[in-house]
Amino acid sequence: DTNCLQVRIWARRKAIAEGHGNYALSVTGPMLKFFERYYNASYPLSKSDQIALPDFNAGAMENWGLITYRETALLYDPAISSVGNKERVLTVVAHELAHMVVCSL
């Protein structure tokens, strides 16, 4: 049930302290609710942990219990990031979360 879902964004301490994970955090719950309605399938976990890695070779990878991302695919700084970067974060997060819902079909 996504109403009781624990969502966490993990990254370097400075990035978290400066709020760079807030955008991804704000879109994860609503996005999962959308996918649940659209696919008529439940998100299979009680949590959504997502981590931004400074040197991650792939753009992102869905893993059971922890989605891994390159920093630029998960973190957004409204003071310096472009609108294009914000859109990229949204689309990559959506892509990875869709894998998690669809895998439960």
Q: Give 93's pLDDT tier (boundaries 50, 70, 90).
A: very high
pLDDT value at 104 more than 70:
no
Q: Looking at the DSSP assignment, which residues form a beta bridge with residue 9?
A: 50
Centroid of chain to Cα 27: 8
87 flagged as catalytic: no
Instruction: Tell me which of 18, 62, 71, 96 is the catalytic residue.
Output: 96
Please state the domain extents for the chain. Answer: 2-102
Q: Looking at the DSSP assignment, which residues form a beta bridge with residue 49?
A: 8
Contact assessment for residue 73 and residue 59, using Cβ atoms and an 8 Å cutoff: yes
pLDDT value at 105 more than 90:
no
If one compares 65 and 14, the residue with the highest pLDDT of the two is 14
Q: Give 102's pLDDT tier (boundaries 50, 70, 90).
A: confident
Angstrom distances, CA of residue 49 to CA of 10, 23, 38, 42: 7, 14, 22, 17
pLDDT per residue as tens digits for the range 4-30: 889 999 999 999 999 999 999 999 999
CA atoms within 13 A on the CB side of 101: 23
Q: How far apart are CA 85 and CA 6, in angstroms?
A: 25
% of the chain beyond a pLDDT of 90? 77
Domain 2-102 fold? Neutral Protease; domain 2 (1.10.390)
Report which residue type is found at 99. H
